[in-house]
């Protein structure tokens, strides 16, 4: 089963603040989730969190997507896009 995805207004604003290369990586992750019928590793009621990591230069970037799966309409609704950047100076 293939899902489509959509951003809520707040999530779209968060997504638009990502650097272009990271926004593209985020869309790639969503497209993968839409095809493989996502499984929720971290459940928050009817939501799940999907996270991925990318390394760019000396920084490690963590992206967290909070998603509601609407099985009836075969949609993934992105509710929140969060990021955390860890640089070399952050490591012990």
Beta-carbon contacts of 1 under 8 Å, excluding residues fewer than 6 positions away, are 37, 74
Burial environment of residue 75 by CB neighbours within 10 A (0 to 12, 13 to 18, 19 or more): middle
DSSP letter at 89 equals G
Reference 59, options 16, 91, 29; nearest CA is 91
Record the tokens describing residue 40, joined without a space: 């929720």
Q: Is the pTM of this model over 0.85?
A: no
pLDDT tens, residue by residue, 33-52: 888 755 544 454 678 899 99
Spatial contact of 62 and 49, defined as CB atoms under 8 Å apart: no
What is the CATH superfamily name and number for domain 4-90?
RelE-like (3.30.2310.20)
Model confidence at 13, pLDDT cuts 50, 70, 90, reads: very high
């Amino acid at each position: 089963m293939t899902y489509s995805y959509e951003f809520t207004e707040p999530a779209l604003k968060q997504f638009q603040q990502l650097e272009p290369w990271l926004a593209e990586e985020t869309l790639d992750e969503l497209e993968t989730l839409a095809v493989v019928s996502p499984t929720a590793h971290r459940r928050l009621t009817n939501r799940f969190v999907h996270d991925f990591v990318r390394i760019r230069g000396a920084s490690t970037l963590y992206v967290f997507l909070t998603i509601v799966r609407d099985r009836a309409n075969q949609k993934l609704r992105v509710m929140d896009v969060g990021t955390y950047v860890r640089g070399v100076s952050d490591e012990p």
